Amino acid sequence: MTQTGQWLASHPQRHMTFKATQFRHSAAFPNLFRSFFKIILLISVWWSHVVFAAGESEAPQPPPHFFKESCLAQLPLAGQLLELRISPDNAHIAYSYYFGTNVTAWLDGVQLGSYDDAGNFVFSPDGRHLAYICRRGWDYSLVRDCQEGAKYTDIGKGCVFFSGDSQHLAYLARRGSKWIAVHDTKEGKGYDRIGKAVVLSHDGSRLAYPVIEKKEDFTVVDGEEGVRCDGLGSFHFSPDVKHYGYVVPLREKWLVVLDGKAEQYSEVLSNGVIFSRDSKKSIYAAAEEAGRFRVYLNGAKSKEFESIGTSLLAISPDSQRVAYGGKREGKWRVMIDEKETPAYDGIMAESLVFSPDSAHVAFAFQRGTQWFVALDGKESKAYEGIGAGSVVFSPDSKHLAFVAGRNGKFMAVLDDAEGQPYSDIGAHDLLFSHDSRHFAYVARQTKGWLVVVDEKPGKEYESIALRPFSFAPNDHSLAFVASEGEKYFFVVDGKESKRYEQFLYSPQAGNAFKSLQLVATTNDAVFGRRLVCVEALGR
C-alpha cells in the first residue's frame, strides 16, 4: 500500500533577525513501527516564549489534575501496521493492518471491514466522521461512516476532503480514463487530469478545483468552467461563501479572477485574494507593469509601490480596517487606514497584526542595524533582533508580547517589560490564557528546557514538544508533552502522567488542546503494543 502523506505536520522553524548570530533548532522524530508515520516527539527548539503576569488582580487557581488512561486498541503481534491516523480531538485512532492476504480497517480497536487494500484515513474536523479508501479486486470505493460509496477505477490518494462544518465531503475519483470530482455523492464532469488543490467551502455547499487538460487549464467552480489559463494558483471562498477569488498564470501575465470576472496584471502576490470576515471586502496586491505594485481594495487602487510584502496584507477582525506594508524609493512603510507611517529600512514578514478587538495594530521594523516593534505608532526599545512571527496580542487586546534579542540572549517582552534573558527561547507560540491573565513560553537556560509562567520558571526537561502547547480550553491549566531519556509524559500544571514510549498527535488539531487528552503508545512483552487515550481530569 502506498503511503499518501505524513499524518504529523512538519514543524516550521522560526528565526530571529539577529545580524551576527545564527541560531539552530534541533529535533528528533523517531519512527513508530514503520517509517510511514512519525510521532510528535519532543523537540528542542530555539526560540519562543516568556512568561509574565498579564493581569493585576489575582485569578482563581486551576484545579489539580490526575490522569485517566483508557485503551483504544491492542495491536496484535502478528501482521503489519500500514497506516494510522489520529482524530483532531486526539480521542480516536483509525488504522489499517495487513493480515495474510487481506487488509483490515479499524477504528478504536473495532474492525470496520476486510479488503484487498484500505487506507488514506481522513477524520472530519469535529472528529465525529471517518472516511477512507478501500479496494476490492480492481474496484475502489470511498467508505464514509462505514457506508461504501460508488465503485471507481481509482480514487486519488490525498484527495479526500471534509468541509469545515464536518457535514460534507468531496473527493477525486477516476472512471476509465477520466477523473471526476465527487461532491458528497454528486459526480462532476470527467477530465483528463484534476489538480489536488480542491477547495470545499466551509459549509460544504460550494466546490472548486483546478483542471489540467492537454492544451489549457482552468478552474471549475460549482460545475462551471472558468477562464482558460496556463497553470494553477491560490483559490479562496469568502467566509459567507457568496464570493470567490483566485490567481492563475496566463502566458507572461497573471489573472486575478473575482466571482468569474478576470483582470490581467504583470505580477500578483502569491497569497492571492483575501476576504474580510464579513465578506464585504476583498484585497490583493498586483502590478500592472513590472515593479509598480498597488493594493486593490474592492477594486480601488492604492498608491504605487516598488513591492508589497506578501505577508504584509491585513484586514482587521471587525472588517473595518486595512493595513499593508510596501517599499517605495528604497524604504519600507506601512499604510494603516490609508495613513502612511514613517519610512523604515525593513518590515518583518508576518509581523503586521491587528488586535482581536481591531482597535490596535502592531508590526516589527528595522532602522539601521536595530529592530523595534511599533504599537499604534509608539516604538518599543531597540533590539538586535525580533522573533519571526512572535508579535501577538492577548485575547482581550490589552497586552502585546514579542520575543526579542540582545547581546546573544533572548527575552520575552510584555507591554514593554523585558523578561529574564535566556540562552534560547523555544519556537512554541507565545501563550496568553483565555482570560488574558497569564502568559507562558518555553526557554532554555542551561541544557534543559523549561516552561515559564508569569515569570516563574518551571522544571527543566530534556525536551518539550512544539505542539500541542497551550492553556486548557476552560481554565488556566497549562498543558504540554515533555521527555526524559527515551520516555515521554503528559504535563498539566506541573503534574506529570506516567511515562510512555510515544505520544501521537493529529496535525488537524492545530497547536492548542481542544480537550486535555492525547493518544500514547505502550508496549507489553506478552500482548504487544497498545494505543491508549491519556486524559487529564480535574478533581
Nearest CA to 441 out of 47, 65, 59 is that of: 47
Cell numbers describing residue 326: 510596501
Q: Is the pLDDT of residue 58 over 70?
A: no
Contacting residues for 24 by C-beta, under 8 A, at least 6 apart: 46
Cell numbers describing residue 18: 539577529
Distance CA 209, CA 309 (A): 27
pLDDT confidence tier of residue 426, bands split at 50, 70 and 90: confident
Looking at residue 477, its pLDDT comes to 85
User: What φ, ψ does residue 11 adopt, rounded to 5°?
Assistant: -105, 105
Most distant CA atoms of the chain, gap in Å: 72
- Name residue, grid cell 490526575: 66
Q: Is the pLDDT of residue 67 over 50?
A: yes
How confident is the model over 329-358, as a mean pLDDT?
A: 95
Distance CA 86, CA 40 (A): 12
Looking at residue 527, its pLDDT comes to 74
pLDDT tens digits, residue range 184-206? 999 999 999 999 999 999 999 99
User: What φ, ψ does residue 23 adopt, rounded to 5°?
Assistant: -110, 145
Cell numbers describing residue 63: 484545579
Nearest CA to 148 out of 159, 157, 139, 156 is that of: 139
Q: How many residues in total does the chain contain?
A: 539
Q: Is the pLDDT of residue 517 over 60?
A: yes
Q: Give ∠ CA 276-279-280 in degrees, rounded to 5.
A: 90
pLDDT confidence tier of residue 173, bands split at 50, 70 and 90: very high
pLDDT tens digits, residue range 345-359? 999 999 999 999 999
How confident is the model over 161-169, as a mean pLDDT?
A: 96
Q: Is 290 exposed, middle or buried (0-12, 13-18, 19+ CB in 10 A)?
A: exposed
Looking at residue 64, its pLDDT comes to 54
pLDDT tens digits, residue range 83-119? 999 999 888 999 999 988 899 999 999 999 999 999 9
Nearest CA to 433 out of 496, 364, 479 is that of: 479
Considering the chain, what percentage of its residues have pLDDT values greater than 90? 68
Contacting residues for 436 by C-beta, under 8 A, at least 6 apart: 54, 55, 394, 395, 396, 398, 399
pLDDT tens digits, residue range 10-30? 233 344 443 322 222 333 323
pLDDT confidence tier of residue 65, bands split at 50, 70 and 90: low
How confident is the model over 496-524, as a mean pLDDT?
A: 86
- Name residue, grid cell 513591492: 307
Cell numbers describing residue 113: 471491514
Mean pLDDT of the chain: 85
Q: 442 pairs with which residues across the strands?
A: 451
Contact predicate 149/185, CB 8 Å: yes
Ramachandran area for residue 538 (φ above 0: left; ψ -120 to 50: alpha; else beta): beta
Cell numbers describing residue 368: 539601521
How confident is the model over 245-268, as a mean pLDDT?
A: 94
Looking at residue 513, its pLDDT comes to 79
Distance CA 492, CA 299 (A): 50
Q: How far is CA 434 from the centre of its chain?
A: 20
Distance CA 168, CA 215 (A): 33
Considering the chain, what percentage of its residues have pLDDT values greater than 70? 88
Distance CA 180, CA 328 (A): 47
Region of poorest pLDDT, from 65-74, 147-156, 191-200, 356-365? 65-74
Rg (CA), the chain: 25
Distance CA 239, CA 282 (A): 11
Looking at residue 440, its pLDDT comes to 94
Distance CA 525, CA 523 (A): 7
Looking at residue 79, its pLDDT comes to 82
> In terms of DSSP bridges, do strands 385-386 and 392-393 run parallel, antiparallel, or are they unpaired?
unpaired
